[in-house]
């Protein structure tokens, strides 16, 4: 069965630390990949997406993600987090349907 795994359920970082959130999926065919963010009390917003081309994708607010097809991964990164990045981050994979990961709650300490 198709699935999306986010390995870190809770991450706590200090401001200026680097961030990497893991996302792995299980599907052998063509996929589109997404990262969403949900700030406290707000709805989900698209951070970035990958459909094809350069596997290193840059999104909003300094986030980027790298698609590594051989590893079935689409990890989210940010070189230096800010307190305002405190939120929950969801990886999503589109095959013939849309599947969300279970989310990673990030807390950035000021």
Partner 1 sequence: AAGVIQSPRHLIKEKRETATLKCYPIPRHDTVYWYQQGPGQDPQFLISFYEKMQSDKGSIPDRFSAQQFSDYHSELNMSSLELGDSALYFCASSLAHRGRLTYEQYFGPGTRLTVT
Whole-number minimum distance, CB 16 to partner 1, in Å? 28
**Interacting residue ranges for partner 1, rule: CB under 8 A:** 32, 34, 36, 42-46, 49, 90, 94, 96-98, 100, 102-103
Q: How far is the CB of 99 from partner 1 (least distance, A)?
A: 8
Rounded alpha-carbon distances, angstroms, from residue 25 to 1, 39, 83 = 10, 24, 29
Residue 41 region by backbone torsions, left for phi larger than 0, else alpha for psi between -120 and 50, else beta = left
- What is the nearest approach in angstroms of partner 1 to the Cβ of residue 102? 5
For partner 1, the closer of residues 5 and 17 by Cβ is 5
């Amino acid at each position: 069965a198709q699935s999306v795994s986010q390995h870190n359920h809770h991450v706590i970082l200090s401001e200026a630390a680097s961030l990497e959130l893991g996302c792995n999926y299980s599907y052998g065919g063509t996929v589109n990949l997404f990262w969403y963010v949900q700030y406290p009390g707000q709805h989900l917003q698209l951070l970035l997406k990958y459909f094809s081309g350069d596997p290193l994708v840059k999104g909003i607010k300094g986030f980027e993600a790298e698609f590594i097809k051989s590893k079935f991964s689409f990890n989210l990164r940010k070189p230096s987090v800010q307190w305002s990045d405190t939120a929950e981050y969801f990886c999503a994979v589109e095959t013939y349907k849309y599947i969300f990961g279970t989310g990673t709650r990030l807390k950035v300490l000021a």
